[in-house]
Structure 1
Amino acid sequence: MPREEKVKDYLLSELSDEDKPSAIWAEYRALRVLGIPNENLKKIVKPRLQNFITNLNLSAVYHNHYLLKDVYYLLVMSRELGIEIDESWKETVTSFVLDLRDDGAFGSKISKIKIVRLETTLYSVLILNELGYGYRDGKTVKFIESNRNGALWWSLPITRYALLALNSCGAKVEGKEEIVKALERRKCPYGFFLTLPTRIPSRGIR
């Protein structure tokens, strides 16, 4: 069996077992790249997402803010695969997320830790705009920008969510060239990226 077919079979088996939308999304995107038709993916993904919605207790977000990330990816996959979601559930999620707002950010009711508030803010903005709320708030944009450390944010994943959130708000991202250069400094010759820029001259890793 060709290697690509083995990868497809493995990812399809993993996709069928996953419960978290954030994990489902990663495997679903890989399978799309490998050429699996959307209709085939929809048959597998739809019941997993419906099960997540049925069992989701939004109040659990106060103990685990990463549930917001799962809600975001659920909405992304639903949109891309044409999976309908009950409007009343969407309204409930919208109201819940809006209730997390404070002065320019989201999540002070969840945690006072800065990185948790940032992640909560990013996921909240992305959720609202996936739901068609059209969230625009200059204070939120300033809060996201204030958490920037040089060209990037706290980590590469957080940088990705920050850029997605700013873009969804229609905000102008400053220093795009610096962002590209910072990412290039983290790229390895093996095709992956390091969390921090590293230089090992003897092996040519920068």
Structure 2
Amino acid sequence: MGLEDIKLRIAASEKESGRAAGAVTLIAVSKVQPNDRVEAVLNQGQRVFGENKVQEAQGKWPDFRSKFDGVELHLIGPLQSNKVRAAMGIADAIHSVDRPKLAEAIARIAEEEGHCPKLFVQVNTGEEPQKAGVLPAEVDGFVARCRELSLPVVGLMCIPPADEDPSTHFAMLREFAERNGLEGLSMGMSSDFEKAIAFGATHVRVGSAIFGERDYSK
């Protein structure tokens, strides 16, 4: 495994699915990864990265951005309303917009700051009580509310249940996106990104297959 292997597999999946070359953006998920591993991947030319927590992103990415041009940072983990300003100050995209209070906080700060990252609405396709995300029945109304707030929603995101075939959830997310005129589909991780590409993923989030297993003890 490693960056080049993942890129080759993405290219093969694009071709097999009849997608244009380069249609899929690889987000290298660097959460909890040591800086030397992240820098090694930067040195290989990867420029799009994903972090789960605002605080970790703040501690890691200003230094890397001073060394490497063109870095694009995506926040993919749950976002607390009190971290919105910090998130908007460091992220180019936020993939976890999942409730009205959060959308309203983003809209208010976007008006104050004069800018807003690209936004993805997170959908809890499996309706799992422990997982963040808008429920399927609420997607259309929530997207409409975000548009009323003039938020730059570009797509939807999901994390399928671990014990189910992800294809059902990828198909569901694609249907929701098409119905709401959204092009972005943030779906697919290390174990299932090729299936996600077949269902139209525009962004795949791959971590351990690029960097190696995470050590949460540190």
TM-score calculated relative to the size of structure 1? 0.27
Higher strand share: 2
TM-score calculated relative to the size of structure 2? 0.26
If you compute each CA radius of gyration, which structure gives the higher value, 1 or 2?
A: 1
